[in-house]
Structure 1
Amino acid sequence: MDFFVFITMLMIASMTKTAYSCRTERSCQEIYQQSINPVPGEYQLCTPTNRTFDVFCDFYDGYGYTYISKRGLGVLQSLSQLYNDRSHVVVRHRQINGIQKDVEISPLSAFRFRYPMSIQLSQAIGYNVPVNAALRPYIYLGFLPAVYARSRTTQGYQVAGVDITFTNCDSNPNSYLAFFANPSNLPLNDYYTRCCMSSVVNAWITRATDSPLSRYLPQKYFYDFEMHMGGCGGYVSTGSFPSISGATVGFRFTASL
């Protein structure tokens, strides 16, 4: 009898473990490597703590981009499983008429190796905190750390291979683009009504090109956003663009790494 009780307990333990184990892949890179012909689309990934979340894996030949849903952002403790390449990201915005456009952005060519893009989750360590930080969780892309961005020098970022620059006029150390999940649908900070549209901070929108219709993202992947540069580089948020409903970021992965 003791033997059968022991076997029964093992079976129950095994079933319990299976019921609560995460059976999906950890990254779009892993899906790519396990597929003969990976198809771009929505997938579920698994966190190190065995929680699932929705992503859109945008596959290309040997590389791709991971887009995370707003709800999915709330279960992560880090963004590191979404990418293995910080050379650039793809930023996509969605117009209220449904059209989607995207563009590659990266640090300025002069700083690319010295200051690679900082990718953080709901924090801005070494960088200036975003105006709408209360709308957390948020994705933070930092271009120049505050210790350098305080200098009155030529700063900016790169859009579609073109350096977009300004001269920091007052040592304000802002150099970032952030995306806010805003799960409680709180209003944006009204700072955008007072400051400071410019050709620098809207370059990632004006230089974006149409996304392929077959790779369109569902609405749940688009966030509120803000970009802040300088000291005289400008500031915009979702509220600055009545024709835009949100934006999102695609994190790059290379399949061979």
Structure 2
Amino acid sequence: MAGKTLLQLCFWIVLARFCHTTLQTCTDVSCSASCPPSSGTYTLTNANSDSFTVYCLFESGYGYTFIAANTSVDPNLAKLFTEKTEVLIRHKLQNGSQYDATAAQISKYSSENLGVLYNSSTGYNNLVNDHMTPYLYVGFVPKAGVNHSKDIQGWKVQGTDYNFTNCDANPNSYFTLLYNSQNEAYGNYSHAKTDLLHVWYDMRAK
């Protein structure tokens, strides 16, 4: 994969009638519009009155909120991420080509919501290189209540389950976008490319 790339993570939202007087979510953008809103870039405000930019993709009755890679304030993910069944990973190449891939729970964990967190992995396995902030963390298997030794884990990409047999007692299914605004170096950890780890890229759709 040549050249620089941009990864964005977006969250499925259900468009509701209630909206805030200040724009905090893409749902607010939708219900404050006098006519069906146009998909595009919008400025939202978090609970601390900090502004940040998102891309709102509006569909019929639902939509997606894309978090920009240069986001440096807490984007209030609990508000943005109202439908916790899947995320959409957008991969943009330097030449402008753009690809999407959905990521969701494997069938075994289909009753579990995804955990989507900003600069945190609370309730899920800790990530390596958590010093490379800010980051978005998507947890598939929570820590609580289950010994995950030799458990079947994984993620569903573009509607297909991709599984692995876990090697220890930890829930090792998570996906992280490290925006790394301070250009910190990676820690002493590396892994060769595997089909499982790169399936979101290999199965992407333009």
Report percent identity of matched pairs: 32
- Which of the numbers 89, 113, 127 marks the counterpart of 2:87? 89
Where does residue 241 of structure 1 map in the other structure? none
Deviation at 1:136, TM superposition (A): 1.2
Where does residue 18 of structure 1 map in the other structure? none
The RMSD of aligned alpha carbons is 1.9
Q: 1:149 and 1:89, CA in 2 relative to 1: closer, same or farther beyond 3 A?
A: farther
- Report which structure shows greater RCO (CA 8 Å, sep ≥6): 1
Where does residue 238 of structure 1 map in the other structure? none
- Given that 1:47 and 1:76 are in contact with CA atoms closer than 8 Å, whether structure 2 keeps it comes out as yes
Q: 1:149 and 1:25, CA in 2 relative to 1: closer, same or farther beyond 3 A?
A: farther
- Which of the numbers 113, 118, 121 marks the counterpart of 1:121? 118
Whole-angstrom distance in 2 between the partners of 1:85 and 1:112:
13
- Which of the numbers 179, 185, 201 marks the counterpart of 2:197? 201
The code of the aligned residue for 1:84 comes to T
Where does residue 39 of structure 1 map in the other structure? 38
- Given that 2:162 and 2:196 are in contact with CA atoms closer than 8 Å, whether structure 1 keeps it comes out as yes
Whole-angstrom distance in 1 between the partners of 2:170 and 2:94:
33
TM superposition score normalised by structure 2: 0.81
The code of the aligned residue for 2:90 comes to R
Whole-angstrom distance in 2 between the partners of 1:83 and 1:140:
13
The code of the aligned residue for 1:205 comes to Y
Whole-angstrom distance in 1 between the partners of 2:37 and 2:157:
28
Where does residue 26 of structure 1 map in the other structure? 24
Whole-angstrom distance in 2 between the partners of 1:111 and 1:172:
15
Per-residue Cα deviation, 1:2-30 (whole angstroms, up to 9, x for no partner)? xxxxxxxxxxxxxxxxxxxxx74111011
Provide the secondary structure at the position in 2 that maps to 1:93.
strand
Where does residue 63 of structure 1 map in the other structure? 62
Deviation at 1:145, TM superposition (A): 1.8
Listed as ranges, the gaps of 5+ residues in structure 1 are 1-22, 211-257
Q: 1:142 and 1:103, CA in 2 relative to 1: closer, same or farther beyond 3 A?
A: same
Per-residue Cα deviation, 1:114-154 (whole angstroms, up to 9, x for no partner)? x2111111111122211121011211100112354732021
Q: 1:180 and 1:161, CA in 2 relative to 1: closer, same or farther beyond 3 A?
A: same
Whole-angstrom distance in 2 between the partners of 1:189 and 1:100:
29
Higher helix share: 1
Whole-angstrom distance in 1 between the partners of 2:76 and 2:36:
29
The code of the aligned residue for 1:68 comes to I
Aligned pairs (5 A) from 1:1-257 = 24-35=22-33, 36-72=35-71, 74-76=72-74, 78-113=76-111, 115-147=112-144, 148=146, 150-189=148-187, 191-192=189-190, 195-210=191-206
Deviation at 1:83, TM superposition (A): 2.0
Where does residue 10 of structure 2 map in the other structure? none
Q: 1:49 and 1:171, CA in 2 relative to 1: closer, same or farther beyond 3 A?
A: closer
Per-residue Cα deviation, 1:62-95 (whole angstroms, up to 9, x for no partner)? 11111122343x2216311212100111111122
Provide the secondary structure at the position in 2 that maps to 1:129.
coil
The code of the aligned residue for 1:37 comes to P
Provide the secondary structure at the position in 2 that maps to 1:202.
helix
TM superposition score normalised by structure 1: 0.66
Listed as ranges, the gaps of 5+ residues in structure 2 are 1-20
